[in-house]
Structure 1
Amino acid sequence: MIKQLLVGDNLAFDDMMMMILKLALLIVGFVVLIYGADFFVDGSSKLAKRFNIPSFVIGLTICAFGTSAPELAVSVTASVTGANELAIANVVGSNFFNLMFVLGVCSILNPIPVTKNLLRRDYPVSIAAITLLSVFLMSGSDVSRLEALVLFCCLVGYMIWTILDTKKHPELADTQEEDSQKFAAWKCALYIVGGCAAIVLGGDLVVESAKYLGGAIGMSEKLIG
C-alpha cells in the first residue's frame, strides 16, 4: 500500500514537472518566434532595399509575411503533425484577437484615423476574405486543396492589385527611406536564414508544448488554437 502511494506520488510529481517544462518551452517558443520574425523582416527588407525595391512593395510582401510568420509557423507545424483543428483554430483565433483586442487597445490609447484608401480598397477586401473563408468552412468538413488554392490565388491577386494601385497613386505609398548600406549582403542573408530557422524552431516548440498542455488538462485542439 505504501509502495503504491509512493509510486503514485512520484508519477504525480513527474507529471507536474513535465507540465512546468512544457509551459517553459511554450514561452520560449513564443519568444523565439517573435525574434525570428523580426530578424527575418529586418534582413529581408534591408536586402531588398539594396536592390532598390520600393518600400511599399517590401511592406506588402516581406513585412506582411514577417508579421504573420509566427501564425504561419504554428499552423503549418500543427497541420504537418496532424493537429488540423489546432491549425485552423490558430488562424481564426489570431484574426479575432487582432481585430477585437489589438485594434481595440490601440484605439483606446490613441484613436486610429481611417483613410479613404482603407475604406476603398483594404477593408472591403478584408471582409470579402473573411466571407470567402466562412463559406469554405461551412460548406464541408474541411478546407480542400482546391479551396486553399483559391485563397492563395486571391492573396496573390490582392498583392498585385495593391502594387499597381500604389504605383497609380504614389502619394498613398510610404516614401520614407532608411539607410541600408550599413548592412552587408552576407549579414542580411545571415539574418534571413537565422530568422527562418528560429521561426521553424519556435513554431515546433509552441505546437508540441501546447498540444501536451492541452491534453494534460483536457482541452481540445480547437480551444487551444
Structure 2
Amino acid sequence: MDSSTLGSMFLLLALMFVVVAAKDDADWRTCTQADVPIDLQALCSQTEDSKACMKFLSAFPESRAARSLQPLLELYIKDMANKTEEAKPLIALLYKKQEVRKSHMCLGDCLATKINDVSKALAAFSTTVDINDKFIKMDHFLQRFLRVNSYYKCEDKCPITSASVDEITLADKFQALWNVLEQAGRIDAHMFPTEVDDDDPEAPPLPPTDLTGYNTDTSS
C-alpha cells in the first residue's frame, strides 16, 4: 500500500470520527428535532437531582416520546404554574393574618415576593406567540432568578425562630418550586448555553428579589 492510499484511509477515518462525534453531541443537547427520542436518563444526569428529574419526566408519556427539549420544558412550565397557584391561597391567608394582627412578617413577605416574581415571569413568556422568543425569555428569567436567589435567601435574612407555622409551610412550597426551577434551568441551559450578562443593557431586568430592603426586625 503506497503512502497516498494510506493517507486517504486516515483522512476517511478522521472524517467518520468527526461525523459520529457531532451526532453524539447533537442528540438531546440541542432543541432541534432528533431522529430518536431523547435519552431522559442522560439528560437528567446533568441536573442537580437526577432521581427527581427522572421521576418528574417519567410521569408524562409525552416526555418519553420527546425528540427535542421544548416539550420537556413545556412540562416544567406547567408544573411551575401549578406550584405558584397552589401557594397563592396561603400567601393571601398570611397577609390577611398580618393585617389583623398588625405584626411584621419577614419570611412570609420575602417568600411571597419571590413566588410572585415567578408567577409574573410565567405569565409573560407563557403568552409569547413566537416559540423561540418564548424560550429565550424563559432562559433569561431562569438564569437571573436562580443566580440572584442563590445568594439572597429568605432564610438567611429572616429568623426562622420568629416565623409562623404558615410561613414555614410557604417555605416548603417555595423549596418545591425552587427544585423545579433548578431542573428546568439545567435543561434549558442545553438550548441556550450562553450566560446572560447582568450588565448587558439589552438583557431583561433582574427579578426584584434583592432582600437588602427587607426589615428583618420582628420586634414591632
Q: Fold match, TM over 0.5?
A: no
Q: TM-score range by the shorter chain?
A: 0.3 to 0.5
1 or 2, which has the higher helix percentage?
1
Q: TM-score, normalised by structure 2?
A: 0.32
TM-score under structure 1 normalisation? 0.32
